[in-house]
């Protein structure tokens, strides 16, 4: 799904919107998707179901969130969450796409005061790293963009408490798969909590997997992982609850 042809990218964004809707990661007109093409962003519009968009309904904005002239005649405005997307792109030039969704199990964990347990699933550690749950900020606000400014520099996925997920990648497919991984990890965490205390990856093995992730991205500054991540405060605060559940 990596392409810089505008027609193809428009089709891809609509396809990802359908996937998010079909998997119940979004409802109503929720969620938003963007792809960076040069110094412009192609983004989903506000007020439309992302599962039923047409390619011609996507709009162009610049990296400051301003609607560009070529989209002013479309009659649609960019998503109200676009400030969060712009913040992500400004922090990391390697980001080519952003997906914001409301995966129900991941959000439900945050409602109950739990973070996603990132150190129990080695595949999640290797492919995505930890997924810190950030403090609450009002959706569609500047505060909601500001709160991701620092953590997005060292993470490819974030959970916004009481709100939703944010996944980024060099291309749209990677960002979408990050959203799937967030919800899958949340599902495993929630189901395991019903069976008993969570058991983390053995210490030596956890260090090996984190080292593998660092080797995978030698030019990236990554978080230290687990409770050591300075942005993963909710997990650090609830680690004892995981062990006592």
> E-strand spans in the chain?
32-37, 40-43, 59-62, 97-101, 133-134, 157-160, 164-169
Enumerate the β-bridge partners of residue 168: 98
The single residue listed with the structure tokens 């990648």 is 169
What phi, psi does 166 have (nearest 5°)?
A: -135, 125
State the CB neighbour count (10 A cutoff) for residue 225.
Answer: 19
Which residue of the set 81, 123, 180, 205 is catalytic? 81
CA 176 → CA 91, 97, 205, 209, distances in Å? Answer: 19, 9, 28, 23
Active site residue 180: no
Q: Rounded to whole angstroms, how far apart are CA atoms 45 and 31? A: 10
Hey, what long-range contacts does 210-216 have (CB within 8 A, 24 or more apart)?
210/125, 212/126, 213/125, 213/126, 213/129, 216/126
Q: Rounded to whole angstroms, how far apart are CA atoms 98 and 190? A: 26
Catalytic residue IDs: 81
């Amino acid at each position: 799904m990596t392409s810089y042809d505008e027609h193809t990218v428009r089709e891809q964004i609509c396809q990802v919107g359908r996937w998010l809707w079909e998997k119940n990661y979004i409802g109503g007109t929720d969620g938003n998707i963007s792809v960076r093409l040069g110094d412009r962003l192609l983004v989903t519009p506000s007020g439309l179901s992302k599962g039923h968009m047409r390619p011609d309904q996507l709009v162009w904005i610049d990296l400051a969130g301003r609607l560009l002239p070529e989209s002013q005649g479309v009659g649609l405005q960019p998503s109200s969450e676009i400030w969060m997307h712009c913040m992500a792109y400004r922090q990391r030039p390697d980001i080519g796409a952003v997906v914001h969704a409301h995966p129900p199990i991941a959000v439900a964990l945050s409602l109950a005061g739990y973070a996603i347990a990132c150190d129990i699933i080695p595949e999640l550690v290797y492919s995505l790293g930890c997924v810190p749950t950030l403090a609450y900020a009002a959706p569609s606000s500047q505060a909601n963009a500001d709160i991701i400014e620092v953590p997005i520099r060292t993470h490819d996925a974030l959970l916004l408490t009481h709100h939703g997920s944010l996944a980024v990648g060099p291309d749209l497919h990677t960002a979408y798969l990050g959203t799937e991984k967030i919800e899958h990890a949340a599902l495993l965490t929630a189901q395991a909590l019903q069976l008993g205390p969570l058991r983390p990856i053995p210490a030596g093995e956890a260090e090996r997997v984190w080292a593998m992730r660092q080797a995978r991205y030698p030019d990236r500054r990554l978080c230290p992982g687990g409770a050591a991540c300075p942005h993963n405060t909710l997990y650090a605060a609830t680690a004892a609850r995981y062990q006592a559940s």
